[in-house]
Structure 1
Amino acid sequence: MAVAMSSFLSGSVTVTSSYVGADLRSTTAEITWLVTAPSLTSGAFLLFFGSIADLFGRKTLFVGSLFLFSIVCAGTGFAKSGLTLDILTGVLGVFSASAVPPAQGMLGVIYKRPSKRKNRAFGAFSAGNPLGYVCGTILSGLAAKISNWRASLWLLAIVYFVIALVAVFTVPNDSTAKTKLNRETLKRLDLPGTAMTIIGIGMFCAALREVLRRAILCLGSDAPKGWKTPYVLVLLMVGLFILAAFILWELRYPYAMIDMSIWRDRDFSLLLITMCLGFIGFQIVTFWIALYFQVEQRYSSLDTGVHMLPMVIMGLLANAFAALIQHRVSNKLLMAIGALAYLLSFILAAAQRKGDSYWAFSFPALCLCVVGADFQFVVANMYVLSSMPAHRQSIAGSLFQTLSRLCGALGYGTATAIFNAVKRNPGKFGYYKDNAFEPYAACFWFAAGMAGVGLCFCPWLTVGTQGGKAAVEKDGVGKGEERVRVQEGEL
Structure 2
Amino acid sequence: MTETLETSNAATKVVNAVKQRPLAAILAAVSIPMFMATLDNLVVTMALPVIRTELHASLSDLQWFVNAYTLSFASMLLTAAAVGDRLGRRRVFLFGITLFTLGSAACALATEPWMLIAARAAQGFGGAAIVPLSLTLLTAAVPEKMRSAAIGIWGGVTGLGVALGPVVGGAVVDGLSWQWIFWLNVPIGIIAVPFAARVLNESFGSTVKLDPAGVVLSAGGVLAVVWGVIHGAGDGWTSAKVLTGLIGGAALLIGFVLWENRSAAPMLPLRLFRSRGFSAVNIVQFTFSVGVFGAIFLLAQYFQVVQGYSPLASGIRTLPWTMAPMVVAPLAGLIVDRVGVRLLIGIGQVFLSAALLWMALIATVDLSYGSFVPPFVLAGVGMGLTFAPIATAIMASAAPADQGMASGTNNTIREVGVAMGVAILASVFASHGSYISPQHYVDGLIPAIKVGAVIVAVGAVVSLLLPSRKDVAESTTGATISAH
State the distance in 2 between where 1:485 and 1:455 align: 34
The aligned residue for residue 429 of structure 1 is none
- 1:146 aligned residue (175, 181, 184): 175
> 1:352 deviation in Å?
0.5
The aligned residue for residue 274 of structure 2 is 264
> More displaced, 323-332 or 201-210?
201-210
The aligned residue for residue 461 of structure 1 is 466
State the distance in 2 between where 1:407 and 1:41 align: 13
Structure (1 or 2) with the greater helix fraction: 2
State the distance in 1 between where 2:282 and 2:117 align: 32
> 1:351 deviation in Å?
1.6
> 1:92 deviation in Å?
1.1
The aligned residue for residue 366 of structure 1 is 376
The aligned residue for residue 430 of structure 1 is none
State the distance in 2 between where 1:400 and 1:257 align: 13
Matches within 5 A, 1:438-453: 438-453=443-458
- Kept after mapping to 1: 8 A contact 2:71/2:416: no
- Kept after mapping to 2: 8 A contact 1:6/1:42: no
State the distance in 2 between where 1:232 and 1:151 align: 36
- 1:239 aligned residue (221, 241, 249): 249
State the distance in 1 between where 2:305 and 2:374 align: 21
Q: 1:230 to 1:301 in 2, by over 3 A?
A: farther
- Kept after mapping to 2: 8 A contact 1:109/1:393: no
The aligned residue for residue 128 of structure 2 is 97
- Kept after mapping to 2: 8 A contact 1:341/1:372: yes
State the distance in 1 between where 2:255 and 2:476 align: 30
Unaligned runs of 5+ in 2: 1-31
Report the AA paired with residue 228 of structure 2.
A
The aligned residue for residue 286 of structure 2 is 276
- Kept after mapping to 1: 8 A contact 2:230/2:426: no
- Kept after mapping to 1: 8 A contact 2:295/2:425: no
**What RMSD in Å do the two structures reach over aligned CA positions?**
3.0
State the distance in 2 between where 1:316 and 1:73 align: 25
The aligned residue for residue 211 of structure 2 is 190
State the distance in 2 between where 1:414 and 1:333 align: 29
Q: 1:417 to 1:145 in 2, by over 3 A?
A: closer
> 1:307 deviation in Å?
1.1
Unaligned runs of 5+ in 1: 180-184, 215-223, 425-433, 476-480, 487-491
The answer as to 2:121 corresponding to 1:83 is: no
Report the AA paired with residue 446 of structure 1.
V
- Kept after mapping to 2: 8 A contact 1:209/1:409: no
State the distance in 2 between where 1:323 and 1:177 align: 26
The aligned residue for residue 328 of structure 1 is 338
Q: 1:259 to 1:177 in 2, by over 3 A?
A: closer
> 1:226 deviation in Å?
5.2
> 1:473 deviation in Å?
0.9
> 1:75 deviation in Å?
4.2
User: Alignment partner of 1:257: what SS?
Assistant: coil
State the distance in 2 between where 1:465 and 1:123 align: 21
Report the AA paired with residue 368 of structure 2.
S
Matches within 5 A, 1:17-166: 17-20=48-51, 22-23=53-54, 32-111=63-142, 113=144, 115=145, 117-127=146-156, 129=158, 131-166=160-195
- Kept after mapping to 2: 8 A contact 1:112/1:390: no
> 1:399 deviation in Å?
0.5
State the distance in 1 between where 2:285 and 2:480 align: 25
Cα deviations across residues 27-67 of structure 1 (Å, max 9, x unaligned)? 76655533332122111211111111112111011122212
The answer as to 2:418 corresponding to 1:390 is: no
The aligned residue for residue 473 of structure 1 is 475
- Kept after mapping to 2: 8 A contact 1:283/1:408: yes
The aligned residue for residue 482 of structure 1 is 479
- Kept after mapping to 2: 8 A contact 1:204/1:236: yes
Q: 1:28 to 1:348 in 2, by over 3 A?
A: closer
- Kept after mapping to 1: 8 A contact 2:330/2:388: no
- Kept after mapping to 2: 8 A contact 1:127/1:315: yes
- 1:175 aligned residue (188, 196, 203): 203
User: Alignment partner of 1:149: what SS?
Assistant: coil
- Kept after mapping to 1: 8 A contact 2:99/2:122: no
Q: 1:302 to 1:56 in 2, by over 3 A?
A: same
Q: 1:370 to 1:353 in 2, by over 3 A?
A: closer
- Kept after mapping to 2: 8 A contact 1:53/1:101: no
| TM-score, length-scaled by structure 1 | 0.82
Cα deviations across residues 403-459 of structure 1 (Å, max 9, x unaligned)? 1112222222332333233339xxxxxxxxx89634322122222222332223344
State the distance in 2 between where 1:281 and 1:225 align: 24
State the distance in 1 between where 2:58 and 2:425 align: 24
User: Alignment partner of 2:475: what SS?
Assistant: strand
Percent identity (aligned): 23
Cα deviations across residues 143-174 of structure 1 (Å, max 9, x unaligned)? 2222222222211222232233322222x212
Report the AA paired with residue 443 of structure 1.
A
> 1:130 deviation in Å?
5.4
The aligned residue for residue 18 of structure 2 is none
Q: 1:234 to 1:387 in 2, by over 3 A?
A: same
- Kept after mapping to 1: 8 A contact 2:101/2:186: yes
> More displaced, 302-311 or 363-372?
363-372
Q: 1:236 to 1:374 in 2, by over 3 A?
A: farther
Q: 1:465 to 1:46 in 2, by over 3 A?
A: farther
- Kept after mapping to 2: 8 A contact 1:54/1:394: yes
State the distance in 1 between where 2:345 and 2:452 align: 17
User: Alignment partner of 1:462: what SS?
Assistant: coil
> 1:141 deviation in Å?
2.2
State the distance in 1 between where 2:64 and 2:221 align: 19
> More displaced, 245-254 or 414-423?
414-423
> 1:338 deviation in Å?
0.8
| TM-score, length-scaled by structure 2 | 0.83
- 1:357 aligned residue (362, 368, 373): 368
> More displaced, 121-130 or 61-70?
121-130
The answer as to 2:450 corresponding to 1:421 is: no
- Kept after mapping to 2: 8 A contact 1:277/1:454: yes
User: Alignment partner of 2:373: what SS?
Assistant: helix
The aligned residue for residue 478 of structure 1 is none
